[in-house]
Amino acid sequence: MFDVFKDRELAVLWDNGVEAGTLDSETMAELAQKGMTYCEGYCPSEEYTGADRCSCIREIFPSPKDYRLYLAARNRYEKLLQLGLLAKALSQDKNRDTNDNH
């Protein structure tokens, strides 16, 4: 059975920086690249503690600091991916223009 009071207590401890360590850079890079799956289906922890500190998040990230770092890294990865795709499209466009002129 889900204990709302215990989950809220754990969320407060997590929020206040009671850490169980930090994620190593390799794991953080992998998460940033692949993204993560948030709660699947109904999550009572999400309902009572909020989406950014539910037990699903707390199980992956030892602290809010690690979670914020992940969010920033994921955002950066997605922007770099978009830039890479744009550069590739422009390069292919330029190659087509060059080949059309010959």
CA–CA separation, 41 vs 95, rounded Å?
47
Tell me, what's the pLDDT at 99?
A: 67
pTM comes to 0.79
What are 70-74's contacts with CB under 8 Å, separation 24+? 70/23, 70/28, 70/31, 70/32, 70/36, 73/28, 73/29, 73/31, 73/32, 74/31, 74/32, 74/35
Average pLDDT, the chain: 89
Tell me, what's the pLDDT at 88?
A: 87
Q: Work out the percent of the chain whose per-residue pLDDT is above 90.
A: 66
How confident is the prediction along the chain (102 residues), in pLDDT tens digits per residue?
889 999 999 999 999 887 678 889 999 999 999 998 888 889 999 999 998 999 999 999 999 999 999 999 999 999 999 999 988 888 887 777 666 665
Domain boundaries defined on the chain: 4-100
